[in-house]
Amino acid sequence: AALNAVFAKLGQQAAASWNLSGDPCTGAATDGTDFSDQNTTAIKCDCSDQNNTVCHITRLKIYARDAVGQIPEELQNLKHLTHLNLSQNVLAGPIPSFIGELTNMQYMTFGINALSGPIPKELGNLTNLISLGFGSNNFSGSLPSELGNLFKLEELYIDSSGLSGALPSSFANLTRMKILWASDNNFTGQIPDYIGSWNLTDLRLQGNSFQGPLPATLSNLVQLTNLRIGDIASGISSSLAFISSMTSLNTLILRNCMISNSLESIDFSKYASLTLLDFSFNNITGPIPQALLNLNSLNYLFLGNNSLTGKLPTSIGRSFRVLDFSYNQLSGYLPSWVSGKDLQLNLVANNFVDNELNNSILPSMQYLNCLQRSTPCFLGSPKTASFAVNCGGPLTSGSDNLRYQSDEVNLGDASYYITGEPTWGVSTVGRFMDASNGGYTIRSSRQFQNTLDSEMFQNTRTSASSLRYYGIGLENGNYTVTLQFAEFGFEDTQSWKSLGRRVFDIYLQGERKEQNFDIRKAAGDKSYTVVKRSYKVPVTKNFVEIHLFWAGKGTCCIPTQDNYGPSISALSLIPAGTPLNNNSWFHFENNVFSVINY
């Protein structure tokens, strides 16, 4: 009866093989069928009680069914549950406190729903829990200290859950912890020292509000294979010393972590399993060690936005696919390996020799000198006073009388492109993690709202980390930069696939204009709806930079693993006061933009 009521309240039906009109503990519920391989609705029973005469439901799964409503109170009658999976639905309301009465529970997840309210302290009664997940929801408040009673807990998935505050000191008791995913929350304070006493193999702490430094006790986590920490926005800077003993790593991300150190302080030859390393957006100094580029296991290396100096190493390992050295102070001539087939290489914003770039062995580097620190093109001799780009799409004319240039070039994890004039360019870095084939342009054939230029929004350019557009050879003066967006990574449907959030920051000429910008939220929680943002920007050196930056915020994996990071559909730059069309002008006064009709 309790099982029937749960399904009825959530508007679900069991698979045909279930005999819910009689005894549900028959057929696939009791045979050797693997619970994880069954339909998205499934149960398992244990019929060993009272000499094999009494059956109890021990496992219940209502997964990816778009079930709506609140968590049914009838669940509390299923006292023998050890496994509960209600993830990827549209459940709302709180996690009820009675869940804490299901003390046989070992594996429980509510991930990717619309649940809200505080996390009930009663979950601390589930002392048999091995795995707990409630990420990608809308909870509020902090983690209850009672969760520190879950001594058997090995896996905790709470990314994008909406929580804030410090991690409880009681979590020092969770010494069996192997996996912690806690990115995209608002956790504060320092990352606790006690994490170094856990038995972790996978730690993810990006997009929070933690302060530096990173705890030295992390050096005890010698079994780590996956470490992702990012977006330490304040506090004291950190060194790299704590990673010296983490030689089992295959993924190492310390991005935007206020690290001030030299790469030469680490013996990279010990990291024989490392496939991806991301130290971008820090203050790492000194040269790039040859030992790092000798690693034959390393496929992806992101060292952009640091303070590295010296020349590029003379050789690289045989497995490299992506190298990002952009925004450093590197100089000298380019080694022969830069022409490697299928190698993605971003060298933007360094100090490489001008003659070497102009006569490069790579045709794609012909105009790279326009994006070096000391040799911007047309400095003092401007060639243009405007440009517009259809980001990720073909050449098109807008209803604003601007001609939007084509931006259909195929960019990857560390790429740049400069137009042949050159009047504008684009640079992107970052890898969509855990995605089998992450794409950097997205297309939709849908019609878009709030625009006369629907076709222009059917393409968008994205990035997993940092996306920059440049205006080159501009007249100096004040300009109006207009950025246009439309979200279509999340559908406007009552489905778990609609629950994602894309969040990023917007910088113009190095100044942050928007923090935690959410396209869909700005459009009134609607997809396929155009959002425009306009800003006044001064150009003093014939050059402008538009930077869209992912600071670890937003969901990572709804509906797919590559649906996060900045996204833009179109952009334009025109002198302030330029007419938008035949009947209106863009006017800026007292830091306010307005459209003047006449």
- Whether residue 572 lies inside any domain: the answer is yes
**Predicted pLDDT of residue 376:** 74
pLDDT of residue 572: 97
Alpha carbon distance 481, 362 (integer Å): 32
What is the tally of structural domains in the chain? 2
Amino acid 260 reads S
Q: 582 lies in a domain?
A: yes
Residue 22's CATH number: 3.80.10.10
379 lies in some domain = no
pLDDT (0 to 100) of residue 591: 37
Residue 558 lies in a domain: yes
In angstroms, rounded to a whole number, what is the distance separating the alpha carbons of residues 515 and 511?
A: 11
Q: Is 46 exposed, middle or buried (0-12, 13-18, 19+ CB in 10 A)?
A: middle
Examine residue 67 and state whether it is found in any structural domain, yes or no.
yes
The pTM for the full model equals: 0.93
> 123 with 147: CB under 8 angstroms?
yes
- 209 exposure class (CB count in 10 Å sphere: 0-12, 13-18, 19+): middle
The predicted pLDDT at position 38 comes to: 58
Q: For residue 435, is it within any domain?
A: yes
Residue that finishes a domain, picked among 130, 149, 177: 177
- Looking up tokens 């996204």 gives 567
Helices (H), 339-456: 354-358
Residue 53 domain-assigned (yes or no): yes
Of 146, 177, 208, the last residue of a domain is: 177
Q: How buried is 239 (Cβ within 10 angstroms: 0-12 exposed, 13-18 middle, 19+ buried)?
A: middle
Residue at token pair 């705890």: 215
What is the pLDDT at residue 527?
95
Name the token pair of 542: 């014939």
**pLDDT value for 115:** 98
Q: Which of 57, 38, 37 is nearest to 47 (CA)?
A: 57
Q: What is the pLDDT of residue 300?
A: 97
Q: Which residue has the tokens 């967006």?
A: 485
Q: What is the pLDDT of residue 21?
A: 56
* Of the candidates 563, 589, 582, the residue with the CA atom closest to the CA atom of residue 597: 582
Dump pLDDT digits (tens) for 351-375.
Answer: 987 555 545 545 556 678 889 987 6
Per the structure, the complete domain to which residue 471 belongs is given by: 387-594
- CATH number where 558 lies: 2.60.120.430
What does the DSSP 8-state code read for residue 238? B
For the chain, list residues with pLDDT below 70: 14-22, 37-39, 354-366, 375, 437-438, 578-598
At 337, list the tokens: 């390996």
Q: With the C-alpha atoms ordered 233, 237, 239, 243, is the resulting torsion angle positive or negative?
A: negative
- From 177, 212, 246, the end of a domain falls on 177
Q: Residue 285 falls within a domain, yes or no?
A: no
| DSSP-derived secondary structure letter, 259 | B
